[in-house]
Amino acid sequence: MSPTPSPGQITTLSQLYASLRSAVDDAAEALDAVRVGESSGAVDTERFLAASQRVAALAREIAAILDR
């Protein structure tokens, strides 16, 4: 049985989840834009790369929390 998290930890995890969800949504939208750009010949990968880096940073933060 795992220990009950403190209220501060719940808030942090909730905020972290919300940030991750937002970053994943942004990455999905950016990927859709890249796909549209491929068909028109104008691919802008900068937005997708920025969003994917944000997702990766949040994933590292989650891993660090879980490793504690």
Give the start-to-end residue ranges of the domains of the chain: 23-67
- Give the pair of three-digit tokens for residue 66: 């879980």
- Half-sphere exposure of residue 16: CA atoms within 13 angstroms, side-chain side: 17
* pLDDT value at residue 2: 46
Tell me which of 5 and 21 has the higher pLDDT.
21
- Give the pair of three-digit tokens for residue 40: 């028109």
**DSSP code for 50:** H
pLDDT above 70 as % of the chain: 82
CA distance 52 to 29: 11
Spell out the alpha helix ranges (H) of the chain.
7-40, 46-67
Q: How confident is the model at residue 3 (pLDDT cuts 50, 70, 90)?
A: low
pLDDT at 44 > cutoff 80: no
Query: Is the distance from CB of 15 to CB of 58 less than 8 angstroms?
Result: no
